[in-house]
């Protein structure tokens, strides 16, 4: 007996470093320790029979990981108002989770495990959680060949070639992670959709995924190609008013629901960036969306019709979605939701909100965010996105008077909706840590949490995530949280301060190229179209003297944005062409302020490096090294951005870079020669 002990300890000591080394981030925020027999003794997870498959998952999770008292999982059909939510209640000697739906019990179980993981005291707990949105959906831009458009975490999780025969264990792990933060729907494929996804052989693969996801309360949606009837259906065209086309969609939808009875619906990118759509047949977005909506209606399916539409016309790109969609207000079926990107251009580091929000009074609208960091340094830069998401959700549109925030316009408070929804483009791939950067996991987490409860603060979400993902030690949590909270503003500073936008390298969007130009290329894909630098100044004049995009905003925002003196400085160059010498509120010239902002961004990232290095002892070696090396890239990139933009804009401002800030270390001509060989798949 005694002889065993030292061996046991030796083995433990030997294994410990391996365990720490093998910390590859794959566990995400779900780091529950299984209970021991002793911990489980005397506590029960009680469920009334018969038990559905989702409730079974909830019970198994608690059976395996719950170290607290007995938990009673109760389904109460009188509690309709809870929707997919739940109540957690302390009852003398046990805890009760009450829900109206099976999913509610699952979410309640994850809530308990989260509280346990964060080390919270549950005595006397009494809370009710009801999700703010009905559909909380991730959009995967995954192609059928395994590539991911704008994906920076490896190839697609979906192994189309192996499905439906081989079911990767990661499918369930993925679904579980989503369920743990309340995500209840996913679009599997790229919005630039291949018609093949609707072929019978692919639908079998989709069904296999749906069967796994269903256990975690997740519904599957598909992006469709509007030309599918013609391309794979052998129909003469795809005109939404052609009865044959309509019949084809009806039959296709019937076929889908036969094997996937809880199928969610379709996401559609039509007449945008070269994708086919109803306008090809002189029909409207409403004609196209309603045709699909009619096919889906008998099954309670939804159409998420994207408003991300623009063409290379003389009209300011920022105005086009509004111009195309507002005249169609009221023309859409009630199972159509217009899916609108947070900003009117394209997921820039900072944009004002899209003015289409609230401008359609009789049409359901939802917001689309981008979690994947297409315009934020890919998975190399640490940028915590909750502040960006919150900034848009909390923006007051004034659509129905003061207080008409985008959150309230889309969550059913100010506009009635058959179902409300919120979407984000996923940052997930087959990398072992799922998201490429360990801190990019926080953005997936933050989206799920905000989709559930948009009044959570960025601070609360960061704190939860850090505690669950790393450690609950305050010496670690506080500085890391500060770093995360500052990181989005830092990225804006070193990339595009003061409202600058879209000055990225062509096509792949990594790194600066404010000088970028392609002979014969679309102007609305060129940086000069957006920054308009000349000897007079910098910025896009969207005021009444320019494109007048400001007029699309409700009063008083049209006036506030439209006047150089009242326009918030973080949107200055978004709405105005501003003289280099224009005096900012702090007394500096616009040129000097631009220089200081870029410099501040660089200094912020340097400070992140220091914060991280100082906390090494709190983190396992693998994740420490991963994050450390990415911060190095970010710091180098920040200097690259600063030098490229300041040296280039200086050729117009013809003024010195203020002597108080760090001097450029690059030559403009050298920076112009950088041509990264990054592929953008679509
Ligand atoms: C842009 C991306 C492009 C997407 C498009 C979209 O650059 O790859 O296809 O948005 O959202 O952000 O449709």
Query: In angstroms, what is the span from residue 275 Cα to ligand 1's centroid?
Result: 11
Candidate from 140, 148, 150, 277 with most ligand 1 atoms within 8 A of CB, to mutate? 150
Looking at the structure, do residues 376 and 302 belong to the same domain, yes or no? yes
Looking at the structure, do residues 333 and 440 belong to the same domain, yes or no? yes
Cβ atoms 202, 161 nearer than 8 A: no
Whole-model pTM: value is: 0.96
pLDDT (mean) for 484-496: 99
Looking at the structure, do residues 281 and 387 belong to the same domain, yes or no? yes
Domain that holds residue 164: 135-456
Q: Is 273 a catalytic residue?
A: yes
For residue 156 the two structure tokens come to: 């697609």
- Note the pLDDT of residue 14: 42
- The sign one gets for the Cα dihedral 281, 283, 289, 291 is negative
Residue 163 has pLDDT above 90, yes or no: yes
Per-residue model confidence as pLDDT tens digits over 597-640: 999 999 999 999 999 999 999 999 999 999 999 999 999 999 99
Per-residue model confidence as pLDDT tens digits over 296-353: 999 999 999 999 999 888 899 999 999 999 999 999 999 999 999 999 999 999 999 9
Using CA atoms in the order 249, 254, 256, 258, what is the torsion angle rounded to 10 degrees?
Answer: -170
Point out the catalytic residue in the list 72, 196, 211, 273.
273
Query: In angstroms, what is the span from residue 269 Cα to ligand 1's centroid?
Result: 10
Query: In angstroms, what is the span from residue 406 Cα to ligand 1's centroid?
Result: 22
Q: How many residues does the chain have?
A: 682
Atom of ligand 1 nearest to the CA of 680: 8
Question: How many domains are there within the chain?
Answer: 3
Looking at the structure, do residues 615 and 523 belong to the same domain, yes or no? yes
- Note the pLDDT of residue 142: 98
pLDDT (mean) for 462-487: 97
Atom of ligand 1 nearest to the CA of 375: 12
Q: At 191, is the secondary structure helix, strand, or coil? A: coil
Query: In angstroms, what is the span from residue 267 Cα to ligand 1's centroid?
Result: 14
Query: Residue 11: CB partners within 8 Å, gap ≥ 6?
Result: none
Looking at the structure, do residues 516 and 598 belong to the same domain, yes or no? yes
- Note the pLDDT of residue 518: 84
Q: Is 396 a catalytic residue?
A: no
| Domain assignment of residue 5, yes or no | no
pLDDT (mean) for 655-669: 98
Distance CA 197, CA 218 (A): 19
pLDDT grade, residue 22 (50/70/90)? Answer: low
Protein residue whose Cα sits closest to atom 12 of ligand 1: 346
For residue 180 the two structure tokens come to: 């743990």
301: closest CA among 427, 418, 429? Answer: 418
Which of 21 and 654 is assigned the larger pLDDT?
A: 654
Ligand 1 neighbours (beta carbon < 6 A): 149-150, 191-192, 269, 273, 308, 346-347, 374, 682
Which CATH number characterizes residue 105's domain? 3.30.379.10
Which CATH number characterizes residue 246's domain? 3.20.20.80
pLDDT (mean) for 272-289: 97
Point out the catalytic residue in the list 134, 142, 346, 486.
346
CA atoms within 13 A on the CB side of 258: 9
Candidate from 143, 192, 273, 681 with most ligand 1 atoms within 8 A of CB, to mutate? 273
The H-or-E segment that residue 306 falls in is: strand 302-306
Looking at the structure, do residues 265 and 282 belong to the same domain, yes or no? yes
| Domain assignment of residue 26, yes or no | no
- Note the pLDDT of residue 482: 98
Looking at the structure, do residues 140 and 243 belong to the same domain, yes or no? yes
| Domain assignment of residue 681, yes or no | no
Helix axes 590-614, 474-495, angle to 10 degrees: 150
Q: Is 346 a catalytic residue?
A: yes
Which CATH number characterizes residue 646's domain? 3.90.1330.10
Helix axes 200-214, 243-259, angle to 10 degrees: 40
| Domain assignment of residue 181, yes or no | yes
- Note the pLDDT of residue 520: 79
């Amino acid at each position: 007996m005694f002889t065993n002990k030292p061996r046991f300890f030796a083995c433990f000591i030997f294994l410990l470093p391996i365990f720490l080394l093998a910390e590859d981030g794959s566990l995400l925020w779900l780091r529950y320790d299984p209970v021991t027999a002793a911990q489980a003794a005397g506590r029960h997870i009680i469920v009334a029979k018969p038990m559905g498959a989702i409730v079974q998952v909830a019970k198994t999770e608690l059976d395996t990981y719950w170290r607290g008292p007995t938990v009673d999982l109760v389904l109460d059909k009188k509690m309709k108002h809870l929707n997919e939510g739940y109540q957690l209640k302390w009852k003398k000697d046990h805890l009760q989770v009450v829900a109206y739906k099976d999913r509610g019990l699952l979410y309640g179980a994850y809530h308990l495990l989260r509280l346990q993981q964060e080390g919270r005291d549950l005595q006397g707990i009494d809370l009710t959680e009801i999700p703010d949105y009905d559909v909380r959906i991730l959009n995967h831009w995954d192609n059928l060949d395994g590539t991911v458009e704008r994906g920076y975490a490896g190839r697609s999780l979906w192994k189309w070639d192996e499905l439906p025969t081989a079911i990767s264990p990661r499918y369930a792990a993925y679904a579980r992670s989503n369920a743990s933060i309340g995500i209840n729907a996913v679009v599997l494929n790229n919005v630039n959709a291949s018609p093949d996804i609707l072929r019978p052989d692919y639908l079998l693969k989709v069904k296999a995924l749906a069967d796994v996801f269903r256990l975690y309360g997740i519904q599957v949606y598909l992006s469709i190609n509007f030309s599918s009837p013609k391309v794979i259906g052998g129909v003469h065209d795809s005109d939404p008013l052609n009865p044959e086309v309509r019949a084809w969609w009806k039959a296709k939808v019937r076929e889908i629901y036969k094997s996937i009875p809880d199928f969610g619906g379709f996401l559609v990118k039509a007449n945008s960036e070269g994708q086919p759509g109803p306008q090809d047949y002189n029909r409207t977005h409403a004609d196209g969306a309603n045709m699909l909506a009619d096919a889906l209606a008998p099954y309670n399916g939804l159409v998420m019709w994207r408003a991300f539409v623009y063409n290379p016309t003389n009209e300011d790109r920022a105005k086009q979605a509004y111009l195309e969609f507002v005249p169609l207000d009221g023309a859409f079926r009630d199972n159509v939701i217009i899916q609108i990107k947070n900003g009117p251009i394209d997921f820039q580091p900072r944009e004002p909100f899209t003015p289409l929000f609230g401008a359609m009074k009789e049409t359901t609208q939802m917001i689309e965010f981008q979690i994947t960091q297409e315009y934020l340094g890919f998975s190399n830069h640490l940028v915590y996105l909750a502040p960006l998401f919150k900034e848009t959700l909390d923006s007051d549109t004034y659509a129905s008077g003061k207080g008409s925030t985008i959150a309230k316009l889309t969550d059913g408070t100010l506009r009635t909706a058959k179902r409300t929804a919120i979407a984000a483009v996923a940052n997930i791939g087959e990398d072992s840590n799922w998201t490429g950067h360990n801190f990019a996991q926080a953005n997936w987490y933050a989206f799920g949490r905000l989709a559930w409860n948009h009044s959570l603060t960025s601070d609360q979400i960061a704190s939860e995530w850090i505690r669950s993902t790393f450690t609950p030690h305050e010496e670690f949590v506080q500085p890391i949280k500060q770093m995360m909270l500052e990181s989005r503003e830092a990225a804006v500073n070193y990339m595009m301060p003061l409202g600058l936008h879209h000055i990225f390298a062509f096509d792949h969007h990594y790194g600066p190229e404010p000088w970028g130009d392609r002979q014969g290329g679309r102007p609305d894909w060129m940086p000069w179209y957006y920054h308009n630098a000349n000897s007079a100044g910098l910025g896009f004049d969207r005021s009444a003297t320019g494109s007048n995009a400001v007029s699309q905003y409700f009063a008083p925002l049209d006036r506030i944005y439209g006047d150089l003196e009242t326009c918030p400085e973080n949107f200055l160059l978004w709405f105005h062409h501003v003289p280099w010498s224009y005096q900012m509120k702090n007394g500096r010239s616009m040129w000097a302020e631009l220089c200081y902002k870029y410099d501040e961004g660089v200094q912020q990232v340097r400070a992140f490096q220091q914060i991280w290095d100082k906390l090494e002892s709190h983190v396992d070696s693998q994740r420490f090294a991963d994050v450390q090396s990415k911060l190095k890239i970010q710091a180098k990139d920040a200097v690259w951005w600063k030098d490229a933009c300041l040296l280039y804009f200086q050729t117009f401002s013809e003024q010195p870079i203020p002597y108080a800030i760090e001097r450029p270390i690059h030559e403009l001509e050298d920076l112009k020669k950088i041509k990264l060989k990054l592929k953008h798949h679509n």
